[in-house]
Amino acid sequence: MSKTYKPYQPEQDLLLPPSLKDWLPEKHLAYFVSEVVDELGLSGIYAAYEKDERGQPPYDPRMMTKVLVYGYGVGVYSARKIQQRLSEDVAFRVLACHAHSSDGV
């Protein structure tokens, strides 16, 4: 009798897009960072952006702050490394709401 294995089909597409939040443990540092940044007063940053009408719309300062604080918290200080992690790391993608290097972040 031959050994049976659980199904393994890497070519199988997902029927629905997954929620990345389902891929992180409930008490993950990314959630803590997100909650803390949500409580910060970022009105000064928002005010500076409101005055500037040049160029493309910027990314939300709250999202950028979350990604930066989380990156520093896990030892990623380089903007290029953060950009790479936005494509490859689930926690970074959760904080950025799927914005990643192919989007220009």
In SS3 terms, 27-45 reads as CCHHHHHHHHHHHCCCHHH
Task: Confirm if 33 and 70 have CB atoms less than 8 A apart.
Answer: yes
pLDDT value, residue 66: 94
Q: Does the structure show a pLDDT above 60 at 102? A: no
Query: What pLDDT sits at residue 51?
Result: 78
Q: What is the pLDDT of residue 98?
A: 72
Query: What integer best gives the mean pLDDT of the chain?
Result: 84
pTM score of the predicted model: 0.78
Percent of the chain with pLDDT over 70: 88
Residue spans of the domains in the chain: they are 24-50+61-103
The predicted pLDDT at position 69 comes to: 96
Over residues 28-61, the pLDDT tens digits come to 999 999 999 999 988 888 888 787 777 777 788 8
